Amino acid sequence: MGCCSGRCTLIFICTLQLVLALERQVFDFLGYQWAPILANFFHIIIVILGLFGTIQYRPRYIIVYTVWAALWVAWNVFIICFYLDVGGLSKDSDLLTFNISAHHSWWSEHGPGCVRREMPQAPGVRTTESHSYITVMGCLMDYQYIEVMHSGTQILVALLGFVYACYVVSAITEEEDSFDFIGGFDPFPLYHVNEKPSHLLLKPMYLST
């Protein structure tokens, strides 16, 4: 019963992680954040692997998911430090775009309440864009805190997944060892009774006269 409950909880956690990862992937694509896009891609694959291992009783797959959960926590801690400018990191750098472009988080321009103020193209200036925005005003929350909230949610769910994955692996391994001990994988039962064919011994009877 405990293993079943743990498996059901882990399946729910993996499903929730997939939903959160897909949601995050969409906004990272919109912001051209290539490093998070690659990280989300690997995360989705490993979570699907862990989900499959949980459903099919494959502890090795769950162990891979457990290791990745720890790495995923570390990655999201790095993202939090990046957006909070901790440890020499700067949210204004192009680190997450591999210095390919100057794009930043999609939330920096489209956060709750944000209004982009734009002006027409300056005379005599030829650019590929018809206009360029000046500034973003009226945001109810700075975009870096939105990214921190996303990463914090990912860390919380990943930690829950890590704990339940360890529990499910332990429960499955214990059940397999117990089943093997009682001869579940032995084609011959542990308590095997050797039955010998019974022979009817006929002895001649001599009638005394």
Determine, yes or no, domain membership for 97. Answer: no
Largest CA distance in the chain: 145
Question: Does residue 153 contact residue 24 with C-beta atoms inside 8 Å?
Answer: no
Determine, yes or no, domain membership for 62. Answer: yes
- Tell me the CB-side half-sphere exposure of residue 11, using CA atoms within 13 A: 12
Per DSSP, the residues of 187-204 read: SS-SS---PPPP------
Question: What pLDDT is recorded for position 174?
Answer: 86
Question: What pLDDT is recorded for position 205?
Answer: 54
Running along the chain, 209 residues long, what does each successive block of 10 average in pLDDT?
78 97 95 94 97 94 97 97 92 88 86 79 52 72 94 97 96 76 47 48 51
Domains contained in the chain, number: 1
Is residue 33 helix, strand or coil?
A: coil
Residues 6+ apart with CB under 8 A from 106: 27, 28, 30, 31
Determine, yes or no, domain membership for 6. Answer: yes
Question: What pLDDT is recorded for position 206?
Answer: 54
Question: What pLDDT is recorded for position 180?
Answer: 53
Question: What pLDDT is recorded for position 117?
Answer: 78
Question: What pLDDT is recorded for position 102?
Answer: 76
Question: What pLDDT is recorded for position 190?
Answer: 44
Question: What pLDDT is recorded for position 186?
Answer: 47
Q: Give Cα 131 distance to the centre of its chain.
A: 40
Determine, yes or no, domain membership for 193. Answer: no
Strand blocks (E) in the chain: 115-120, 131-137
Determine, yes or no, domain membership for 26. Answer: yes
Domain span at residue 74 reads 1-87+135-181
Q: Cα separation of 82 and 96, whole Å? A: 9
| Category of 25 on φ-ψ map: left (φ > 0), alpha (ψ -120 to 50) or beta | alpha
Determine, yes or no, domain membership for 98. Answer: no
Question: What pLDDT is recorded for position 185?
Answer: 45
Question: What pLDDT is recorded for position 125?
Answer: 52
Question: What pLDDT is recorded for position 119?
Answer: 63
